[in-house]
Amino acid sequence: MKTLSLRNLGKTYFDPYAGAHVTAVHDVSLDVEPGEFISVVGPSGCGKTTILNMIAGFIPYSKGDILLDGKPVHGPGPERGVVFQSFALFPWKTVLDNVGFGPKMRGVPKAERDRIAREYLALAGLSHAAHRYPNELSGGMQQRVGVVRALANNPDVLLMDEPFASVDAQTRMTLQEELTRIWQERKPTVIFITHDVPEAVFLANRVVVLSKGRVLDEIAVDLPRPRVWDDLVKDDRFKQLSARVLQMVRAA
């Protein structure tokens, strides 16, 4: 496990429609400890997805540094796993082969990567779906596959870009509970992007609030685990924290 550091990170790009340079991210510094679960919240256009895409290496950054264990990162790489809002499963591969894709890229032999994939599918309660194709699954199941596909590759950091935004409300709560359970079992380092304040607080150890390309504030979430919605909806501490973050986001 390695520490991820963002140092004075900035992104400016040319917007052909506006005909001008636009700064999406001004100056963001953030240290993420190994095994930490960080939620990044903020209103639309605050730069949260841009930051995630820069860490993932999908877009280059304009200034500052992204350091993983002290070394700068450029371009995508398997040490930074990504869970996409649109799931991004390979439609021509079975669930098993989707989850085994990362190990396959590392040259893991077929039998061994099937074993790894099955282990992670079991973790998400998906063993029965191993030989199905993504289009045969519900949205919630597809995103479970998306999460374990990233985890099965053993990344140093798991980057999640509003992963539960496109599933229905009930499924979303189940997925959030499953994610906290899996996180407790495996302790991956997670950066979770969302605009949903209760979701951010429910999942994280620390919530980072962004505004206009800058870090507005950080709030430690000291709620006990395991976290389940039935308990937390009645929990005063959860309500206080959520209200505080919500206030900040609305003022942002």
Partner 1 sequence: MQVTGSLKGRSSRLMRSVNSLAGAAMFVAPLLALVAIWAIVVPLFNVNPRVFPSVGAVGAAALDSIRDGTLFTHVGASLLRVGLGTLIGIATAVPLGIAMGVSPTVAAFLTPLFRFFSVLAGIAWIPIATLWFGYGFGAIVFVIFNAVFFVVAYNTLLGVRTIPHTLRNAAASLGAGRWALLTEVLLPGALPNIVTGIRTGLGFAWRGLIAAEMIATNVGLGYMLFVARDFYRTEVIVFGMIVIGVLWLLIDRLLLVPLERATIERWGMVRRA
* Residue 14 touches partner 1, criterion: CB under 8 A: no
Contact between 135 and partner 1 (CB under 8 A)?
yes
Q: Is the peptide bond before 226 cis (omega within 30 degrees of 0)?
A: yes
Task: Give the C-alpha separation, 235 to 34, whole Å.
Answer: 28
Q: Does 8 bind partner 1 (CB under 8 A)?
A: no
Q: Counting contacts by CB under 8 A, is residue 80 touching partner 1?
A: yes
Nearest-angstrom CA–CA distance, 70 and 78? 17
Tell which one of 42, 134, 163, 213 touches partner 1 (CB under 8 A).
134
Find the part of the chain contacting partner 1 (CB under 8 A) among 64-72, 98-106, 183-191, 230-238: 98-106
CB 138, min distance to partner 1, A: 6
| CA–CA separation, 228 and 235 (whole Å) | 11
64 touches partner 1 by CB under 8 A: no
Burial of 6 (0-12, 13-18, 19+ CB in 10 A): buried
Length of the chain: 252
| 13 makes contact with partner 1 (CB under 8 A) | no
- Binding test (CB under 8 A) with partner 1, winner from 41, 68, 137, 203: 137
Q: Out of 11, 144, 149, 172, name the contact with partner 1 by CB under 8 A.
A: 149
Name the residue nearer to partner 1 (CB basis): 145 or 241.
145
Binding segment for partner 1 among 3-11, 88-96, 121-129, 217-225 (CB under 8 A)?
A: 88-96
Cβ-based nearer residue to partner 1, 136 or 217: 136
The torsion region of residue 61 among left (phi > 0), alpha (psi -120 to 50) and beta comes to: beta
At residue 14, what are phi and psi to the nearest 5 degrees? -90, 125
Among the listed residues 72, 1, 60, the one whose alpha carbon sits nearest the alpha carbon of residue 25: 60
Report strand pairing: 206-211 vs 189-194: unpaired
Q: Using CB under 8 A, which of 10, 47, 102, 213 touches partner 1?
A: 102
Query: How open is the CA angle 121-87-62, to the nearest 5 degrees?
Result: 120
Among positions 35, 76, 125, 226, the unique one binding partner 1 when judged by CB under 8 A:
76
- Which helix (DSSP H) or strand (DSSP E) does residue 66 occupy? strand 63-68
Within 13 Å, how many C-alpha atoms sit on residue 213's CB side? 13
Binding mask 18-57 for partner 1 (x = CB under 8 A): --------------------------------------xx
Measured in whole angstroms, the distance separating CA 249 from the mean position of its chain's CA atoms is: 19
- In the bound complex, what is the minimum distance in angstroms from residue 247's beta carbon to partner 1? 33
Q: Does 165 contact partner 1 by CB under 8 A?
A: no
Interface residues with partner 1 (CB under 8 A)?
A: 56-58, 75-78, 80-82, 84, 86, 88-92, 101-102, 105-106, 133-139, 149-150, 153
